[in-house]
Chains A and B, each alone.
Chain A
Amino acid sequence: MPYALCFLLFVIGLYCVLVKKNMVKIVIGILVMEYAVNLFLIMLGYRTGGIAPVVADDQVNAAANKVAAAFINASVDPLPQALVLTAIVISLGSLALIISICIRTYEKYGTFDITNIRRLKG
């Protein structure tokens, strides 16, 4: 069920990109899609009653130089978290680029409405 709500968020973002006619709104749609995918990835790694994937001192079995079994059986999946960290920075980068294009377009046309920005045909 949480997956379904996440997918709904993705679809809302897609709707915004497809239907809205304002440049900033389109950017918001893309951002919403990004949030949805990030949440989805983190949810995939969640374990009920899990703990964060950071090994604390008392979870290390010093004698055997091993991580305690209690940690191994309870930690959430660190891999999706690493992927999401990457995805967040990528989305920040593309946000900066697309907003700079929006600002420059605003300077040229004086509007954010893409129906008024139609020099190219087709």
Chain B
Amino acid sequence: MSIPLPVFVAVPLVTAFVMPLFGKKGKAVATLLANLATISLLVLAVVSIGQSRVYEIGKWSIPMGINLVLDGLSSLLLLAISVVSAAAMFFSTRYMEQYTAKSKYLCLFLLMVAGMNGVVLSGDIFNLFVFLEIASLASYALVGFGCEHEELEASFKYMVLGSVGSMFVLFAVALFYGNTGTLNMAYASKAIQDAGLNIGLAFAMALFIAGFGLKAALVPFHAWLPDAHPSAPAPISAMLSGVLIKALGVYALARVLFNVFGVSASVAGVLVSLGILSMVVGVFLAVGQWDFKRLLAYHSISQMGYVILGIGLGALILAKGGNKAYASLAILGGLFHLVNHAVFKSLLFLTSGSVQMSTGTRQLKELGGLAQKLPYTRATCTIASASIAGVPPFNGFWSKLILVIAAVQAGFFGLAVITVIVSLVTLISFLKVQRYVFLGELPENLKQTKENTGSMLVAMVVLACLCVLMGLLLMPALRSAILEPAVKVLTDGLEYSANIIEMANL
């Protein structure tokens, strides 16, 4: 079945436009509609797996109009976004009862989803910027949703750094237009291949790396993340850490670098070093944290390092003309880890929200002995912790294993050792979480704690099942349907423009 691609953006947008019309009384209807929207997006994403096509908006042939592109990488990201957003939306049905203005929350949530889908599908660099702004503005407002001191402060910090990132991207778009005379990524890529990469485009590329790096919170640009992610309500933290930094940061970066500018050894070196820096710095900052969600946020930085490392390693092998099979394996590891991280990190944030809602605190030192009180939360949290630390047979193990194998095959033994060490430190810090939250003595004031039921539980259990089952994605059938096309988009690199132009002319 061939779905018109703008539907992925139109469904959440139209639902979001309807949301403010429901006041206090229509809250139940609004919640139902929002859940329907996210679930239908999930269905659409599943249906569109394996398809690849170009959609010209308004029937204007490119480069006159804007085109949307669905290929392997886009459908992988669409799938991740819709899975996490459906779970987070279902979770918020009950969780967000503690805040006011629920219909506006749902509206912002859907706008954020629409923005991410727009970024992932766009084939036009300015259009990508516009949808990036939608998703970012919605996330700034959602981070400050609680309107308390920490939330407002984190939101301000996030918004300032995010706006600077957006300005970098816009300036880069201007330079890009000045040098190539077009905004369409396929034709711009062709123009760059014809004329060669001059210093103006190299500067634009540096600005893109800085701008998208700010959105992805890679280490020199990570200052906002440890404040913003813990301050948001738990389902929003799950969305931000789970998919927002990937769709706006890693996806956009990979698309622009691999498919438009083409990777060179120096750029790949920058990516690998950013990845290693993020991995190591993130994990060592995480170990010392005593705030549950803050600890998780630092781990997000570290795990994003794995993703960038995998992609960068693949780029390095490609740029040096090495074996293409090794390069695809490294990129496969990176992308697989991206999807895995989306699932287990959002699950971890949801469990932290469940703990916070039951106990009213997220300071590790004030918690303890909740294993009997919150059995389901404990079980799901354990599964997610095992995943993030890379314990077999959960999904995190497989992607880390692939990364290590790829690093060893390509002859980067140091990288493999660093990957394993960071994974061990991750394990230690999650043992600490288990020890302080679920084991040990139950503090006197938490005797009345009750397990959360209903939608929160369902969302957590579904994600936990996914954590266990996602290793199956490596089975040949699923792998060639979901992961391989995404890897192929990146390893093909500059053939992107020829492919798009050919598909558009059909």
Contacts and interface: CB of A to CB of B under 8 A. Distances in A.
A33 B150 CA distance: 27
Contacts of B226: 122
Interface stretch (A49-57, A58-66, A97-105): A97-105
A30 B160 CA distance: 8
B152 A104 contact: yes
B171 interface: yes
A93 interface: yes
A107 to B, nearest CB: 9
A74 interface: no
B164 A119 contact: no
Interface in B180-201: 183
A112 to B, nearest CB: 11
A93 B111 CA distance: 14
Majority DSSP secondary structure for residues of B touching A: helix
Contacts of A33: 164, 167
Contacts of A14: 164
A23 B160 CA distance: 10
Given A105-B156, A108-B149, A108-B152, A37 B174 contact: yes
Contact of B147 (A36, A97, A104): A104
Interface in B121-173: 126, 130, 133, 137, 140-141, 144, 147-150, 152-157, 159-160, 163-164, 167, 170-171, 173
B153 A120 contact: yes
B322 interface: no
B227 interface: yes
Nearest to A13: B167
A47 to B, nearest CB: 14
A28 to B, nearest CB: 12
B130 A102 contact: no
B153 A44 contact: no
Contacts of A41: 174, 177
A104 to B, nearest CB: 6
A5 interface: no
B137 A93 contact: yes
B178 interface: yes
Contact of B140 (A87, A97, A108): A97
B137 A97 contact: yes
Nearest to B141: A97
Interface centre among B152, B177, B178 (most CB of A within 10 A): B152
Interface centre among B126, B144, B163 (most CB of A within 10 A): B163
A63 B124 CA distance: 37
B167 A86 contact: no
A40 B171 contact: yes
Nearest to A83: B126
A82 to B, nearest CB: 9
Given A90-B130, A93-B137, A17 B171 contact: no
A94 B164 contact: no
A90 B392 CA distance: 46
A17 B165 CA distance: 12
A56 B183 CA distance: 28
B159 A98 contact: yes
Given A83-B126, A87-B170, A94 B152 contact: no
Given A30-B160, A86-B130, A101-B144, A44 B150 contact: no
Which 5 pairs show the lowest CB-CB distances between chains A and B?
Answer: A33-B167, A105-B152, A120-B227, A44-B178, A30-B163
Interface of A: 10, 13-14, 17, 23, 26, 30, 33-34, 36-37, 40-41, 44, 79-80, 83, 86-87, 90, 93-94, 97-98, 101-102, 104-105, 108-109, 117, 119-120, 122
Given A33-B167, A98-B163, 17 more contacts: A17-B160, A23-B156, A30-B163, A80-B177, A83-B173, A94-B133, A97-B140, A98-B160, A101-B140, A104-B152, A105-B152, A105-B156, A108-B149, A109-B149, A120-B153, A122-B227, A122-B285
28 contacts: A10-B171, A17-B164, A26-B160, A36-B171, A37-B171, A40-B171, A40-B174, A41-B174, A44-B174, A44-B177, A83-B177, A86-B126, A86-B130, A90-B133, A94-B159, A97-B141, A98-B140, A98-B156, A101-B144, A101-B155, A101-B156, A104-B147, A104-B152, A108-B149, A109-B149, A120-B150, A122-B227, A122-B285
Interface of B: 126, 130, 133, 137, 140-141, 144, 147-150, 152-157, 159-160, 163-164, 167, 170-171, 173-174, 177-178, 183, 226-227, 231, 285
